[in-house]
Structure 1
Amino acid sequence: MFEPIARFWRTSIKRFGVYDKVVPFETTPSRLVPDHIVKPDYVTNKIVFITKKPEIKDEEQIKGMRSSCTLASNILRKIHPFIQPGVKTDEIDELAHTLSIEAGAYPSPLFYKGFPKSVCTSVNNVAVHGIPDLRPLQNGDIVNVDVTVFFNGYHGDCSKTFLVGDVDDQGLHLVHATEECLKQAIDVCGPNVPFCDIGMRIYRVAKKNKLTVLPAFVGHGIGKYFHGPPDIYHTINRYPGLMKPGMTFTIEPVLSHGNENTVILDDGWTVVTEDGSRTAQVEHTVLVTKDGTEILTK
């Protein structure tokens, strides 16, 4: 029997809504990956490979990205009906891990720079990189599940913020507005579009909805490497460069009702909002095409 190392409590702040504020709980050991599963370099060689500039992929590489991204989105889709009050985030990790292994894929977060689990689960005031643990989800929670798989040599990455039971109106608004930010950000993408246009569009949608974009978290290039250029900022920025056909990257805005400040907890991973406000995040991996953009994790 695992006992919680800390407790959570119900927060009631007029402008943030009513929900359980989350602090770390006891978790379980990292899950095992069979020897036959091909592992990324950061596991086998302890090397994190990063390209020096945004990669323009050829047709074979794009085919590999489509395969890994389709698997990641399918796993996230299968997790959705599992999200219910009483389910532990560690059980979500177990499901995602099992589905990855059954498909012959490696769960990319596992041991990436020391991360101990196969997915990230970020509940309520946890902005990103929540470590799955033994805290049961509560009615009214919102939880982001971030799934990445390494499949046939390529990483596919996506996430969604799920509603747990009956979520209050402010929570619903936060999630729906974040989804709208992602949709409009993807709509703006295409050949020769500045990368910085993504952040401008997200900022405007967030401001219209009286929400805050957390600027510390960015999207990223992705391929045989987990993270690489370009950096995709989700608020006003001057990041240089233009999108070109064949580029693949993630867009993954994080929004909150409160201010933009966050704190990293003692586990070195879990990032929470300084003011206890809830956050929502959604993510797709996209491909720039000659005509526009293709959502690879749709």
Structure 2
Amino acid sequence: MTILEYKRYFKGELSSIYSEAESAELYAVFLLRIVGFDKFQQRRFMHQELLKSHVEDLEELLKILKTGKPFQQILGETEFYGMKFFLDEHVLIPRPETEELLELAIHELQKPGKKHQEPIKILDIGTGSGIIPIVLKKHFPNSSISAIDFSEKALEVAKRNAEFHEAEIHFIHQDYLNDDLAGIYDVIISNPPYIGIDEQGEISGSVKEFEPEMALFSPTSDPLIFYKKIAKDCENHLADHGMVFLEINQKLGIETLELFTDILSEVRLLKDLSGNERFVWGIR
């Protein structure tokens, strides 16, 4: 079977899962991994016969994709904020909304008069693969950044990403909900588990089956439990004029906002690009 013939077959097999463009892109990526042909070479040699071993490898990948396993986990990496990050089944696959959270934070911290050139202290709560602190460290190299996660496996991935990007991050293994914070921070940022137990039926099977439940769902019947703890910690661990940036459950925007109205001097509920109430931003 030629490269072109298998590409058509591959796209047809995945037509119920991915769009034609998505399946074509996946094929190009997997063919590069297996055969070593980049996109230009794939076009140039489209009528070249694939080796039997290559077809077998592609068939195995196709079988895995059909189970619903995210292709990012198969590849073991993804792109986020224009950067390469490693990931596995122990961490969430980064979403576009988290890129928007970072854009918001970077924009606010870079405003005239902000002390972003000074060694500000930043805390990321529930760091997962470490994408948030690493991106912030790249934009604010003078900052001192700490990142907390309850999962030791997730922290292993985060440390690997930090080493890859040569980003100095202080990773902390901690049960955030049940432990006390130490220190005062200029920025607290978080994308904690915020899906309620009653919303589990709305989550696609590929997400529930292949991504870590502890990073998706609230550990109790209260979907705001992390935000209540963060609000409390803002009273004691957020510096004067310090800022908080949170990604939130779009169904609980007002409820999340109200947790911070008596604590922060200014707090706003902001929408994402899809028009959903997705972020809470505030300043003390």
Assess same fold via TM > 0.5. no
Looking at CA atoms only, which structure, 1 or 2, has the larger radius of gyration? 2
**TM-score normalised to the size of structure 1?**
0.29
**TM-score under structure 2 length normalisation:** 0.30
Greater share of residues in strand: 1
